[in-house]
A = this chain, B = another copy of it.
Amino acid sequence: MTTEVKPSTRERLLEAAATLTYRDGVGIGIDALCKAAGVSKRSLYQLFESKDELLATSLEERASAFVTGLLPPADDGRSPRERILHVFDQLEEQAGAPEFHGCRYLAAQIELKDQSHPASQVARRVKGNLTAFFRAEAEQGEASHPDLLARQLSMVFDGASARAGIEADKLTGLVTPTVATLLDAAGMH
């Protein structure tokens, strides 16, 4: 006997929420979400209190994929400088995909325009962890001002992913030289 593992109703709703809000925006309607997930509204409201909660949970569930897609493994033997550059190499690679529309956590916050929204709070925490990674590596690499460097790298990350997401620019030949310049200026080798 084989066991067929079908995604649960909850999983299908979270997947639909993540996919459709990324592609169409947080304004996507409940009907469209239910239709894409093949789930009734009744089922949705049995699992989630509101669309806001569904949205927040879908961003939360994507956080580990966001982290593993960008950050290097812990203690991989590379220098802090190389570990920071790894994040931007990954971003550059991701931004080359046709379905890339920028960082979902930045987009959610820009679209919601409400920092107290549960989904904004999730997004803020996920991105805060990225800044914390930069800061830890900056300290490890003895950057002259680790806090400033972490803020600069977060700003470049958001600017780069936003511009690639709206097709204003490509990241090749842009993001790596920029980050290298900032790392040099901070004395990180």
Question: B-contacting residues of A (Cβ < 8 Å)?
Answer: 23-25, 27, 101-102, 106-107, 109-111, 113, 115, 120, 124, 127, 148, 151-152, 154-160, 162-163, 165-169, 173-175, 177-178, 181-182, 184-185
Instruction: Kindly report which residue of chain B lies nearest to residue A173, judged by CB atoms.
Output: B148
- B101, B148, B160, B181: the one contacting A155 at CB < 8 Å is B160
Please determine whether B154 and A156 come into contact, CB atoms closer than 8 angstroms: no
Can you name 10 A-B residue pairings with CB atoms under 8 Å? A25-B27, A25-B113, A109-B168, A115-B166, A148-B174, A155-B159, A155-B163, A155-B174, A157-B159, A181-B181
Q: Which residue of B lies closest to A107 (CB)?
A: B110
CB < 8 Å: which of B27, B155, B181 contacts A27?
Answer: B27
Cross-chain contact A127 with B185 (CB below 8 angstroms): no
B101 touches A165 (CB 8 A): no
Return the contact of A151 from the options B106, B107, B127, B169 (Cβ within 8 A): B169
Q: Which residues of chain B are near A27, meaning CB under 8 Å? A: 25, 27
Residues of B contacting A169 in the complex (Cβ-Cβ under 8 angstroms): 151, 154-155
